[in-house]
Structure 1
């Protein structure tokens, strides 16, 4: 197409303004500027790749892929566009697609050691996934949970931490004293013995295997239920919730709505604390699966590397089996649906459909279907449905929310999955609430965290909080080579 010289000059000027906004980490405003430059001159591929980088920063991976592909239509030799698309596909756990682009990048820049390292790592991941798939349904390969006997693990006499012992009836049972001591150890960056870590995971795995995909929750009589969103391995902010709002107890229930791990580098401490409280108070601590309680995300965003560094590969595999067994949704007081992501690509979904999801057979959520959409979808202000900015799940409007709630005799939807400046946002005529509980997300975003306290008469109180200091360990400390690829 023909673009006037004045429009070219103006577009390039706006791109400069966008670049400045990007350097200041004002990504939404930078996107607006890049978009304005594209509208004036849609023939410049770098405008699209720059906007794609902004989308990567905002975790809008679907939009980043679209921009990278537009750039490649304009200039098929623009290596940066292949790199951006590889970044987005890697973020989504689409390793085969990412591998194609990384091969192109490495071929065009054979001397780029960083690109070569990322290509090699991606190739290893793809080969490993193919091997794991090949043995997944092999009856000769039993699960870790079926073969593990934590009681047979020896505790060295030099271990000075808390212990889980047999009760008088011969059953293993965790105690409040153990959990309290464990938390103090974690605050001091010490571990518990692997025997007790395995015991905690195994106990929760057995509970979850018997749980339905949708769990009905009631608020404790004369107490409260606190709903928390993503905590993403930010252990010190996570513990701050308990210290300021109250620890789980018979009168204080908690529901953590997915994304306990990844990104933050204290994910092991977060998940072991949550699992320990689940074992201690099975009817007062509820856990829902998020999109980061999945193998592909854990490979990229740090949890797999962290578990292997602090414990072992076997422990990560047991965590993976426990995550596969996590419930997908909760209904509070028969009136509030709580899911990690959101609603569905079709209109006729009922609570019974959610209850019937065979999460144990499916294991990983895949890229379509009810389980995927529960974990990945996001609300949008426009009516109807839209393509997901993330590249997985859908975006759903206020009419979709209203129709779903009316069909299922519900009052509102609580979900998480998205960082919010003030920790929470109320949308869709008050019917859809997003709550996010990781303040100053990844040590860079500067957002507040939030949680929701719910009383027995189903009244909601929104509480926001700031981040607290933590040891000098950077986010994604244990992530793969791809942390650099993702712009972290």
Structure 2
């Protein structure tokens, strides 16, 4: 009898905690909701609703790997619980795994034949899978593929007399041009495609000449600014420049990936960053993020935005240029800056990163994938990625990597931080995020590092 009473008490308490978790979820406090759903699961792990709800909260934090794990458990607990399949299908869809998502939404449709949302998602998946098969059927082998950049001559594109926007005189991108272009973008005017082609092609040429790991020297007493994800938030980018000054040789920046997707002004952001790169290559450094890839751009908005504002040719051109972006930077031989994080094996040297052939779409495993996708974790060692790609790594992994390469600090981005940055791993790792209006949140958007070449640390 006491055992039964204890069980009933746990079930009742779990329901109370689930209500609190639901309230946290509705308030957009997704991390808090996950903690509460976890407490409910610990009291009663045989309730599929708790697992599916936690999966949904993970999805809101873009932790798709964790969402898939929870949704799968919900299905194992109750194979007839449609939301388990729905949550897993949604996570697969967000990761671009259309075939897996299709199977899940087919099951949802089978269990809930009259659910209009399930029918809509099923049609989306069917369309995506059909498109994928068509693209695979007509695809040209990599060795035979011709660069779209080589087929473009921007000099032959005429600028209409009625065009009143920013103009590049000759082949030199000037500060006056960049200022005028940003002002036009601020007023939601477009840049003529002739100049857009010129900026993107010149940036491609500059990036192609760089190694996969770029060394940066910051003179003693000089300032150097590292910015994290911008994600198409053009007005936040303007705010950064307003607060911290425009990029110049005296005021250099490193933008650490994820320039595009999600925000409505990804094209304006990338053209502005590329224009500064053309104006003065040492005024701005650019690193590849996991969103500088075809698969992410297809799902999260950049591809559609470019197609709408410019053309299909630009979609292909940006994809090519993103493959030229360096994967990481080292500042003053002491600070390693990368978008995602570290590796699934110890002993990776900076020379291994320099040796990566980066001129491709990111693979689903290996050093390049891990540089773009991995995240730190509070516990030691390594664990599965909450995103479903890359891995999670602890303070001991960070410490060994720094020791192996005679470095002092890892700076990375890739995660939303309420204060704009977070210091972890015993002060050896800093995450910086620079899109203050991302997901309707507001927080500090800028992290500055001042490097002294005569001192360790920052």
Q: TM-score, structure 1 length as denominator?
A: 0.89
Partner of 1:271: 270
> Which among 446, 449, 458 is matched to residue 453 of structure 1?
449
Say which SS state the counterpart of residue 81 (structure 1) adopts: helix
Say which SS state the counterpart of residue 286 (structure 1) adopts: strand
Separation in 1, partners of 2:133, 2:402: 40
Contact 1:144 1:314 survives alignment (8 Å)? yes
Alpha-carbon offset, residue 458 of structure 1: 7.7
> Which among 80, 83, 89 is matched to residue 86 of structure 1?
89
Alpha-carbon offset, residue 428 of structure 1: 1.0
Say which SS state the counterpart of residue 446 (structure 2) adopts: strand
Q: 1:447 to 1:417 in 2, by over 3 A?
A: same
Q: How does 1:260-339 map to 2 (within 5 A)?
A: 260-339=259-338
Q: TM-score, structure 2 length as denominator?
A: 0.94
Partner of 2:382: 385
Alpha-carbon offset, residue 36 of structure 1: 1.3
Partner of 1:63: 66
In the alignment, structure 1 residue 405 sits paired with structure 2 residue 409 = no
Alpha-carbon offset, residue 55 of structure 1: 0.7
Separation in 2, partners of 1:338, 1:392: 20
Q: Which runs of 5+ in 1 are unaligned?
A: 167-171, 463-488
Separation in 2, partners of 1:139, 1:394: 31
Alpha-carbon offset, residue 96 of structure 1: 2.1
Q: 1:124 to 1:330 in 2, by over 3 A?
A: same
User: Which segment drifts farther, 131-140 or 53-62?
Assistant: 131-140
User: Which segment drifts farther, 46-55 or 86-95?
Assistant: 86-95
Separation in 2, partners of 1:218, 1:50: 48
Separation in 2, partners of 1:306, 1:71: 36
Say which SS state the counterpart of residue 252 (structure 1) adopts: coil
CA-to-aligned-CA distance 1:160-208 (integer Å, 9 cap, x gap): 1111232xxxxx1211111010000000011110111111111111221
In the alignment, structure 1 residue 373 sits paired with structure 2 residue 377 = no
Q: 1:332 to 1:260 in 2, by over 3 A?
A: same
Contact 1:222 1:251 survives alignment (8 Å)? no
User: Which segment drifts farther, 200-209 or 351-360?
Assistant: 200-209
Separation in 2, partners of 1:281, 1:195: 20
Separation in 2, partners of 1:373, 1:259: 15
**Which runs of 4 or more aligned residues in structure 1 lie more than 4 Å from their structure 2 counterparts after TM superposition?**
138-141, 458-462
RMSD: 2.0
Alpha-carbon offset, residue 449 of structure 1: 2.0
Say which SS state the counterpart of residue 329 (structure 2) adopts: strand
Q: 1:459 to 1:94 in 2, by over 3 A?
A: farther
Alpha-carbon offset, residue 63 of structure 1: 1.0
Q: 1:115 to 1:206 in 2, by over 3 A?
A: farther
Q: 1:282 to 1:458 in 2, by over 3 A?
A: farther
Partner of 2:247: 248
Separation in 1, partners of 2:121, 2:270: 29
Separation in 2, partners of 1:99, 1:352: 42
Q: 1:458 to 1:106 in 2, by over 3 A?
A: farther
Partner of 1:479: none
CA-to-aligned-CA distance 1:408-433 (integer Å, 9 cap, x gap): 01111000011111111111111111
Say which SS state the counterpart of residue 359 (structure 1) adopts: coil
Contact 2:288 2:339 survives alignment (8 Å)? yes
